[in-house]
Structure 1
Amino acid sequence: MRTAVVLFTRDLRVRDNPALAAACAAAEQVVPLFVLDPRLRGISPNRALFLHQSLTDLRETLRRKGADLVVREGEPVAEAIRLAREVGAEGIALAADVSGYARRREQRLDRECERHRISLRLLPGTTVVPPGGVRPGGGGDHYRVFSPYHRAWESARWRDEAATPHKITLPPGIAVGRLPKAPDSESPGAAPGGESEGQRRLKAWLRHLGPYDDLHDQMAMDGTSRLSGYLRFGCVSPLAVANAAREIGGPGPDAFVRQLCWRDFYYQATAAFPAMSTEAYRKAGDYRWRADEDALKHWQDGSTGVPVVDAGMRQLRAEGWMHNRARLITASFLTKHLGLDWRDGVKWFFRWLIDGDVPNNSGNWQWVAGTGHDTRPHRRFNPIRQAERFDPDGAYVRRYVPELKSVDGKAVHQPWRLPEAVRSGLDYPGPLESHRDDAVWLRP
């Protein structure tokens, strides 16, 4: 093959990129392409900025290898086919994905490639084990319970990491196109995007991975990887991350790899149930949720009067990220204490989270709400007990709720100034004191 196009989507890296490696192995000339789809504008300013930074970094890396990132704007399939015909490409390579948007894009691309007699290769790369790579016995299309999936996932043969191309040759005469101006940041503490930054953070994280199983729930400590945004955009390879943690070994790395397995679990579930963001996976758990715009607004603004909930929601806005334990507490508070629809939580998290994606964001929200894969869907979480356990000296709360910085000890976790909309909502599913704490929000 003389020329191939690589359509980058959520694999914005050159290390362990099967689509890029396959194209470089099969073709003399390779055209790296990213298409800016106008339909996705405005969904999340934080993700838009992270994407821009990641594309800028990818372009610089490709230039060092003798190529460039070709940027087009429009409908991705139409632009990919147009460019392939322009350069006489015989093939297009693409990383397979699972969201409804991604699946529709793949189906359209398959039809258009067949019509124009261009070969299409869908490669792995967004997960450790591809969705469908392991299946339950008895003919099921996907695992509905995590534990058996985890056993099958751990015993599966993982693919070899793809080789990083040393040199990439771009066909002559291509107008590479410009990236648009970087959007403004809405979260001043947001992490920067890009493979270079992702690799730097991964290397630093691996040096401190040992106590992960003991520290990852402690909200005031930097005991989690904060790699979720880099995994979401494919700035780091989930397989390479899992392999690196496995090489270290021990309780901490094992616990971290288990979180990567949870990520894969939701990807295989979403592949089978693409409506994960809008429809209850477990219909019996989709209750008659209350509609209360005032209570929802207090939750969104971090002004519920429940300190740990407000701290989590304010961290979300400040950083475009929230601690894994705080995600659990805030999601449970919305659904199990205020009785509000989990879909409102999905939308708000999508609005701010850099790592927001359909499988993990929506799958975890459904798990907490009792509509998803949880085998104990009626569990609830007491935010006060959770705060006392996972923020014992109140450092996390004081960091994000400065109004309480002078409150001493565990008193910082007690509800204060509860708005009427929140107070009346708490009487709907039951008072705070009636709920026990349990479980964990799953996010590497």
Structure 2
Amino acid sequence: MKHNRVIVWFRNDLRISDNETLTRAIQSGIEIIPVYCFDPRMWAKTELGIAKTGAFRTQFLIESVDDLRKSIRNLGGDLIILQGKPEDKVVELAEKIQAKAIFFSQEVTSEEKDVDKSLESAAFAKGITTESFWQSTLYHIEDLPFPVSQTPEVFTHFRKAVEKMAKVRPSWKTPKTINYPSDLDFSLLGNLPSLLTYGLEKPDRDAKSWMEVEGGEQSGFGRLRSYFWEKDLLKVYKETRNGLIGMDYSSKFSPWLALGCISPRSIVEEITSYEKERKKNESTYWLIFELIWRDYFRFIAKKHGDKIFNIQGIKNQEDSWSRDKSQFEAWAEGMTGVPFVDANMRELNATGFMSNRGRQIVASFLVNDLGIDWTWGASYFESQLIDYDVCSNWGNWMYVGGVGNDPRENRYFNILRQAKNYDRNGEYVRIMIPELQAIKGFDIHQPWELSTSQLRSLKIQFGHTYPQPLRKIPTLEKAY
């Protein structure tokens, strides 16, 4: 059905490439009006008293929307920027400019779905059509070899099933032009907000940070080209992905994936080209493997709904969690007295990013060593992570909390064993915790093993220059 005017409401699909919503709108509408709406609820305070969306993620979002506007202008269109509740503002705009349809991408978790329902209801009351499209995953929801309600509870079963019985659809072609109405009032375009709009301060670029990312589709594809072709790093991804130092031990695609600046299908198509032109090995497959994990958590979230946010998780498992705020704050600030944990948390606070290995380590420490409510950790990550993805974040935290999809019970990460495996000589900790950098070698991971005279000679004093450990952690022998 052809519509005279179609609003394309962008959400976590901030790109013009492989964007079914945009493409379908162009096919269905005579005139296309792209829209992004900054929803103030994204910056509400959580029960922990912190902003739901912190400065790093906000800055990346603003950059991504700005980049989207530039891309759309290059196609002959423009991006209208609204501020307020989308279910109100987008429908009000549609009525004002006489658009007869609103197209948007589907989300899976309750807050977003509630907005969808309200928007659809308000639009229906005004005689405005709505259409939504699934485009957040590598495998399309309609191509799964089982109904979403029967998504396997074990990742390996899911992976094997989709790899054997499902195919990745080809990506949608990037449009060459957008027919944007020439008679729209220029004042409707709106301006980008700033961090100050949400009471946030622009984060200083930390001198220790190697995390060089800028929001937007152009930057995302630039990173892809750099990692695959210019630096030729894909061929060693599996060997280096558990690294800690530098920009290139892993792909770092996650921030762009989280906001849909680049699609998983575009990445896989580039992997296929790389395999044909350069090399096909375990590493090229392993990046696809990680994208399947991302799919898995999204389908699990759709299957289980709000259970992924509940402390009992999808296992409906009761537990007696601690809610010691002082210990939680020490963890959040990187002041637990356990160097490997503190180093990772300080990187997160300074850059908005932490390695996958680091995330597992700090989550295990919060849950298993301190016994603190895993949902507090998930909430803190939601605020801080530049690559926050609601399904992956809460799915992974459920996993660590023992109430998710982990087939193993009581998965515990021995901090010292992890340190020995991934930071044997302490280079990472030495960068992130300068007050301990005088300690040589592996001893930096266990400063409590040094004598008082040794610590004094290094000008380190527990409780003064560095905190006493909150918990006595297991030795290397008791390892996972």
The residue number in structure 2 matching 1:436 is 479
The residue number in structure 2 matching 1:141 is 150
The residue number in structure 1 matching 2:457 is none
Moved more, 324-333 or 92-101: 92-101
The alignment covers a number of residue pairs equal to 433
Match of 1:94 among 73, 85, 104: 104
Match of 2:162 among 133, 153, 165: 153
1:387 aligns with 2:419: yes
1:254 aligns with 2:279: no
Preserved contact between residue 143 and residue 167 of structure 2 (Cα < 8 Å):
no
Distance in 2, Cα, partners of 1:225 & 1:246: 16
Distance in 2, Cα, partners of 1:279 & 1:389: 31
Q: Can you give the 5+ residue segments of structure 1 that lack an aligned partner in the other structure? A: 438-444
1:309 aligns with 2:341: yes
Per-residue deviation at 1:200? 0.6
Distance in 2, Cα, partners of 1:154 & 1:117: 43
Task: Look up the equivalent residue of 1:54 and give its one-letter code.
Answer: S
Preserved contact between residue 290 and residue 340 of structure 1 (Cα < 8 Å):
yes
Distance in 1, Cα, partners of 2:26 & 2:409: 47
Change (3 A) 1:425 1:131: farther
DSSP-derived class of the 2:309 partner: coil
Output one character per residue of 1:131-156: Cα deviation in whole Å (capped at 9) or x when no partner. Answer: 4642548x943221101111222231
The residue number in structure 1 matching 2:202 is 185
The residue number in structure 1 matching 2:48 is none
1:426 aligns with 2:471: yes
The residue number in structure 1 matching 2:233 is 208
Preserved contact between residue 149 and residue 303 of structure 2 (Cα < 8 Å):
no
Moved more, 281-290 or 1-10: 281-290
Alignment identity in percent? 31
The residue number in structure 1 matching 2:33 is 31
Preserved contact between residue 337 and residue 431 of structure 1 (Cα < 8 Å):
no
Task: Look up the equivalent residue of 1:381 and give its one-letter code.
Answer: F
Task: Look up the equivalent residue of 1:223 and give its one-letter code.
Answer: Y
Preserved contact between residue 281 and residue 373 of structure 1 (Cα < 8 Å):
no
Distance in 1, Cα, partners of 2:479 & 2:398: 19
Moved more, 140-149 or 282-291: 282-291
DSSP-derived class of the 2:64 partner: helix
Preserved contact between residue 93 and residue 120 of structure 1 (Cα < 8 Å):
yes
CA RMSD of aligned residues (A): 2.3
The residue number in structure 2 matching 1:196 is 218
Distance in 2, Cα, partners of 1:120 & 1:306: 52
Moved more, 174-183 or 212-221: 174-183
DSSP-derived class of the 1:210 partner: helix
Distance in 1, Cα, partners of 2:318 & 2:146: 26
Per-residue deviation at 1:384? 0.8
Distance in 2, Cα, partners of 1:181 & 1:306: 36
Change (3 A) 1:86 1:140: closer
The residue number in structure 1 matching 2:243 is 218
**Within 5 Å, which residues of 2 pair with 1:268-287?**
268-275=299-306, 276-283=308-315, 285-287=317-319
The residue number in structure 1 matching 2:451 is none
Moved more, 281-290 or 299-308: 281-290
Preserved contact between residue 258 and residue 387 of structure 2 (Cα < 8 Å):
yes
**Within 5 Å, which residues of 2 pair with 1:22-421?**
22-41=24-43, 42-43=51-52, 44-131=54-141, 133-134=143-144, 136=146, 140-155=149-164, 156-171=166-181, 172-174=183-185, 175-183=188-196, 184-186=201-203, 188=205, 189=209, 191-206=213-228, 207-221=232-246, 222-247=248-273, 248=275, 249-275=280-306, 276-283=308-315, 285-416=317-448
Task: Look up the equivalent residue of 1:213 and give its one-letter code.
Answer: K
Moved more, 72-81 or 113-122: 113-122
Task: Look up the equivalent residue of 1:426 and give its one-letter code.
Answer: R
Preserved contact between residue 350 and residue 356 of structure 1 (Cα < 8 Å):
yes
Name the larger-Rg structure. 2
Per-residue deviation at 1:425? 5.5
Output one character per residue of 1:76-108: Cα deviation in whole Å (capped at 9) or x when no partner. Answer: 022222222222222211111112111112222
DSSP-derived class of the 1:78 partner: helix
Task: Look up the equivalent residue of 1:23 and give its one-letter code.
Answer: A
The residue number in structure 2 matching 1:440 is none
Task: Look up the equivalent residue of 1:230 and give its one-letter code.
Answer: W
Change (3 A) 1:271 1:418: farther
Distance in 1, Cα, partners of 2:143 & 2:90: 28
Per-residue deviation at 1:424? 8.2
The residue number in structure 1 matching 2:46 is none
Per-residue deviation at 1:11? 0.6
Per-residue deviation at 1:220? 2.6
Change (3 A) 1:302 1:182: closer
Change (3 A) 1:411 1:273: same
Change (3 A) 1:310 1:367: same
Preserved contact between residue 20 and residue 135 of structure 2 (Cα < 8 Å):
yes
Distance in 2, Cα, partners of 1:161 & 1:187: 37
Distance in 2, Cα, partners of 1:136 & 1:212: 31
Output one character per residue of 1:391-443: Cα deviation in whole Å (capped at 9) or x when no partner. Answer: 222221112112222222222221447769x978636xx74557422xxxxxx
Preserved contact between residue 36 and residue 80 of structure 2 (Cα < 8 Å):
yes
Moved more, 239-248 or 191-200: 239-248
1:19 aligns with 2:29: no
DSSP-derived class of the 1:322 partner: coil
Output one character per residue of 1:186-219: Cα deviation in whole Å (capped at 9) or x when no partner. Answer: 3625632111111111111223111011111122
Preserved contact between residue 132 and residue 141 of structure 1 (Cα < 8 Å):
no
Change (3 A) 1:303 1:14: same
Q: Can you give the 5+ residue segments of structure 2 that lack an aligned partner in the other structure? A: 44-50, 449-460
Distance in 1, Cα, partners of 2:316 & 2:91: 44
Preserved contact between residue 135 and residue 142 of structure 1 (Cα < 8 Å):
no
